[in-house]
């Protein structure tokens, strides 16, 4: 009974165990009921948002980016790290057991301090005899268990679990960004490719005009001024092509980086002409509360706040005593053959307590550190919410204005086509000055270039809205979020 008393005392303490520190409660957030910018609140379409563009090349690029993006690989590695760290923390809740085994051989000196104690047969019973050699075989286990009486380890586990959920949401946020960046780079590429083709056609048309004017100048029909103006227009149009071609190549290289591919990998695939992806006419923005639920960066910030709150309790547990049980069990014998026998058994077990009495405020300072970090995490969470709502508002404004501008630019481009056709007819009839024809050509090119840029801008702004609403992200299951 006496030997069992310490263990019984520890068992009696367990029901009274408590968890120190504040219990976490997710801060109440009251987003506005609707967006400031008018938005369609229809339910979002099923499936990934990029399929609404109906572009198989875009869908293929996004699928490959999700499989091989280096950014996503980094996020996945950090998620594995967070899970491994949680495993380390969780393991501290359980006893640790170490196996051991040893063999030693010792000989006592003939002239040492034991001489006279065992010599001549008149020494003490069991005392070592000078010159005697002793072999000792031992196998056993050492066990220890720190009783989490005040919940420090439980708070550490709570924090580690929240860290895992934050890492999962971080991975979702990286996915959201990668998807949006791939879509944005692809839209940019298609817009640039269309502008390159337009610039090349325009340069070829200006060269044909120059050839005609040059022949007319030789025949004395056109003036040297007309020839100089045609030469300037042709050279200017040819000069518009290289910068656009360079920007087009840059967009391809950017896509290759996003897909984790070597330069040149996508050149052949993207060489075929295709239109600029067109977003659907209606993009459901829902309500602000839905956007916050779908934004992984908001969810990650909330989980970091939960982790920081739990670590206040982890630090607070250091103010209280730490109780533990330790024990050693095994077999010990001077003869290897006697090791398995019952008389070779030994054991040592007992409780221990450790309580810092004088630490010069170190523990309270550590608690203050965690308090400050929790305050910072709360501010970051609130700031992330504000940025998320602002992202959607900005995207709604930009998309609405881009669409309005696109309608105006489209009408202007159609009108410039008609104006150029009329100008060419009037010039051939001798009713229009050559300078007016050149101006009509220049205006038509600028209008068509603006129209291509406008369609690309509408698609890019639609991508930005999808991203702001949290589209394209991966949300972990509820049992992984620690709440």
CA-to-CA separations, 82 to 85, 168, 482, in angstroms, rounded: 5, 9, 13
Write b or e for each residue in 137-168: b if 16 or more Cβ atoms lie within 10 A of its Cβ, otherwise e.
bbbbeeeebbbbbbbbbbbbbbbbbbbbbbbb
What is the Cα–Cα distance from 179 to 471, expressed in whole angstroms?
9
* Whole-number Å distance between alpha carbons of 162 and 308: 9
114, two tokens: 């034991």
Which residue has better confidence, 476 or 194? Answer: 194
Distances (CA, A) of 292 to 175, 304, 386: 17, 16, 10
pLDDT at residue 463 above 80?
yes
Tell me the mean pLDDT in the region 302-328: 91
Task: Report the DSSP beta bridge partners of residue 328.
Answer: 142, 348
Mean pLDDT of 216-238: 91
Express each pLDDT in 346-386 by its tens digit: 888 888 888 887 776 888 999 999 999 999 999 999 999 99
What fold characterizes domain 21-94+150-323+367-480? Outer membrane efflux proteins (OEP) (1.20.1600)
The pLDDT of residue 181: 96
Report the residue count for the chain: 483
Residue 113 pLDDT: 54
Span 127-149, average pLDDT: 79
Treating both helix axes as pointing N-terminal to C-terminal, what angle do 70-91 and 56-68 enclose, rounded to 10 degrees? 40
Alpha helices in 317-433 (DSSP H): 362-428
Asked if pLDDT for residue 456 goes beyond 90, the answer is yes
Mean pLDDT over 229-253 rounds to 95
User: How crowded is residue 210: how many other Cβ atoms within 10 Å of its Cβ?
Assistant: 19
Output the average pLDDT for the chain. 87
| Residue bearing the bigger pLDDT, 259 or 286 | 259
Predicted confidence at residue 127, as pLDDT, reads: 56
Looking at the chain, the whole-number percentage of residues with pLDDT higher than 90 is: 60
What is the predicted pLDDT for the residue at 483?
A: 40
Give the pLDDT of residue 295.
94
d(CA 297, CA 286): 18
Q: How confident is the model at residue 482 (pLDDT cuts 50, 70, 90)?
A: very low
Note the pLDDT of residue 125: 47
- Structure confidence at residue 114 (pLDDT): 52
Asked if the model's pLDDT at residue 124 lies above 50, the reply is no
Structural domain boundaries in the chain? 21-94+150-323+367-480
Structure tokens at 338: 């006697």
Residue 118, pLDDT > 70, answer no
Res. 109: pLDDT tops 80 = no
At 116 the pLDDT is 52
Q: What is the pTM of this model?
A: 0.82
Chain segment 54-107, per-residue pLDDT in tens: 999 999 999 999 999 999 999 999 999 999 999 999 888 888 888 888 888 887
Residue 15 is predicted with a pLDDT of: 46
DSSP secondary structure of 223-261: -HHHHHHHHHHHHHHHHHHHHHHHHHHHHHHHHHHHTT-
Whether the pLDDT of residue 393 is over 80: the answer is yes
């Amino acid at each position: 009974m006496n030997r069992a008393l310490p263990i019984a005392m520890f068992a009696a303490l367990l029901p009274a165990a408590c968890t120190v520190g504040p219990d976490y409660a997710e801060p109440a957030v009251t987003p506005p009921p609707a967006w400031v910018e008018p938005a369609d609140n229809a339910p979002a379409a099923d499936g990934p948002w990029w399929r609404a563009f109906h572009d198989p090349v875009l869908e293929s690029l996004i699928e490959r980016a999700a499989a091989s993006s280096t950014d996503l690989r980094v996020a996945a590695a950090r998620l594995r790290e967070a899970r491994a760290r949680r495993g380390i923390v969780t393991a501290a809740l359980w006893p640790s057991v170490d196996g051991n085994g040893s063999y030693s051989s010792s000989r006592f000196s003939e002239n040492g301090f034991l001489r006279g104690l065992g010599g001549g047969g008149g020494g003490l019973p069991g005392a070592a005899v000078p010159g005697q050699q002793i072999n000792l075989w031992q196998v056993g286990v050492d066990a220890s268990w720190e009783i989490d009486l005040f919940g420090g380890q439980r708070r550490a586990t709570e924090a580690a679990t929240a860290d895992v959920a934050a890492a999962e949401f971080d991975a979702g946020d990286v996915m959201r960004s990668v998807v949006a960046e791939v879509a944005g780079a692809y839209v940019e590429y298609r817009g640039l490719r269309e502008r390159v083709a337009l610039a090349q056609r325009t340069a070829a048309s200006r060269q044909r005009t120059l050839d005609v004017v040059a022949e007319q100048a030789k025949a004395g029909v056109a003036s040297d001024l007309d020839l100089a103006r045609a030469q300037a227009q042709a050279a200017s149009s040819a000069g518009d092509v290289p910068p656009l071609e360079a920007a087009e190549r840059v967009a391809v290289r950017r896509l290759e980086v996003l897909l984790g591919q070597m330069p040149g990998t996508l050149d052949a695939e993207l060489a075929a002409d295709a239109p600029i992806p067109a977003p659907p006419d209606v993009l459901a923005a829902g309500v602000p509360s839905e956007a916050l639920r779908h934004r992984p960066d908001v969810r990650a910030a909330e989980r970091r706040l939960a982790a920081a709150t739990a670590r206040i309790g982890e630090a607070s547990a250091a103010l209280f005593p730490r109780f533990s049980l330790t024990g050693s069990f095994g077999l010990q014998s001077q003869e290897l053959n006697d090791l398995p026998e019952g008389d070779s058994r030994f054991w040592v077990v007992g409780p221990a307590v450790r309580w810092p009495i004088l630490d010069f405020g170190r523990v309270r300072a550590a608690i203050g550190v965690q308090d400050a970090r929790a305050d910072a995490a709360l501010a970051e969470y609130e700031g992330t919410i504000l940025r998320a709502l602002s992202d959607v508002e900005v995207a709604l404004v930009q998309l609405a204005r881009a669409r309005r501008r696109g309608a105006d630019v489209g009408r202007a481009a159609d009108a410039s086509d008609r104006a150029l056709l009329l100008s060419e007819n009037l010039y051939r009839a001798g009713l229009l000055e050559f300078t007016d024809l050149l101006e009509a050509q220049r205006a038509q090119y600028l209008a068509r270039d603006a129209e291509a840029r406008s369609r690309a801008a509408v698609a890019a702004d639609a991508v930005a809205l999808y991203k702001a609403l949290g589209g394209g992200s991966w949300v972990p299951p509820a049992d992984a979020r620690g709440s």
